[in-house]
Amino acid sequence: MLYKDFKENIRSLGFGSIENFMQYAGVTSDDVLSWEEKNEIPYLVSLILHILKGEKELLVTNSALDNVIEECLPLASLLEEVSSFPHKLEEMFLLQKKLNDSTNGNNWELGVTKFGKEINWLRCIHMEVAELIESTPWKHWKNINSEPDMNNIHVELVDIWHFLMSYILQETNVPKAVSLVNTHCIYEVAHDIDVKLMVNEAEKLSYISLAIDTGNMPSFSGIERFIDQFFRCCKISGLSFMWLQKLYIGKNCLNQFRQDNGYKEGHYIKVWNGNEDNVVMVDLLEKMEDVGFDDLYGKLKEEYSKNK
């Protein structure tokens, strides 16, 4: 494949720039400069681009090539998945801004709600970390042999993500926020959960919150530390970015549903026939292949109407 064909291919596949492709494929600027100089793209890179375009059958000529393709398929699949991350991030940040505008007023970025209540996203994060830790058997005097509630831990991480996104949006705009977060979304989740490590790493989110709040860490460098540490917690807890995004849509929808049904006024019912609304929401998500805000909202409304 010639270099000019390579540039056309990555553009048609949705990569905004060569830099985006470099980041996702794990190649360096020196590699790309070498390709441009020779006006030739390495065969494996060309193969990956053809696979992404759905042209695998055009390239299969022998069993050796079959083996190469099979080895490349996981990488190609990863590239296809991560190419959607910027869009998913933008969707989440826009939804969070919309929710904050709706519940706190259009000038919530100034740190005060439309009701004159002070907003402290750092304290919100700190308190959600405590709830995450409460979902583990951290107490040396109680239930020492019990298992961590991983489903709820993932929900608590999504709650932290709500507040972290809000804090980032308070300091910058949506495009910059997406740019700050994008490179942190590519990680391989742990399958064997180390509970002690998970608790220790979650606590570091609280330490960052307190350091910024007390003036011991500059806000902007704190944001970068927050983002890096948050996704480290996701990785250690076995929460993939794709499931984080799905849970976020679910929790964002639930938060809006709560507000529409008297949460702020104090008459919302949080336990639905013996199950907390978070649990009901996750149960609905697991049954849905594609999660749409409006569709999920309708299902929540139906379940809430069954409250006794």
pLDDT value at 60 more than 60:
no
- Residue located via tokens 């740190």: 111
For the segment 230-246, what is each residue's pLDDT rounded down to a tens digit? Answer: 999 999 999 999 889 98
pLDDT value at 70 more than 70:
no
Note the CATH number of domain 85-306.
1.10.4010.10
Indicate yes or no: pTM above 0.75: no
Residue 183 banded pLDDT, cuts 50, 70, 90: confident
Question: Using CA atoms, how far apart are residues 77 and 86, in angstroms rounded to an integer?
Answer: 16
Residue 167 banded pLDDT, cuts 50, 70, 90: very high
Backbone angles phi, psi at 123, to 5 degrees: -65, -35
Nearest residue to 164 via CA among 101, 96, 216: 96
For the segment 74-101, what is each residue's pLDDT rounded down to a tens digit? Answer: 544 555 567 778 888 999 999 999 989 9
Task: List all residues 6 or more positions away from 108 whose beta carbon is below 8 Å from its beta carbon.
Answer: 100, 101, 114, 119, 170
For the segment 114-146, what is each residue's pLDDT rounded down to a tens digit? Answer: 999 999 999 999 999 999 999 999 999 988 889
Least confident of 99-103, 156-160, 169-173, 290-294: 290-294
User: Half-sphere exposure (CA, 13 Å, Cβ side) for 286?
Assistant: 7
Ordered by start, the domain boundaries in the chain are 1-33, 85-306
Nearest residue to 158 via CA among 61, 240, 220, 57: 240
CB distance 177 to 93 below 8 Å = yes
Question: Using CA atoms, how far apart are residues 75 and 84, in angstroms rounded to an integer?
Answer: 15
* Residue 292 identity (one-letter amino acid): G
pLDDT value at 63 more than 60:
no
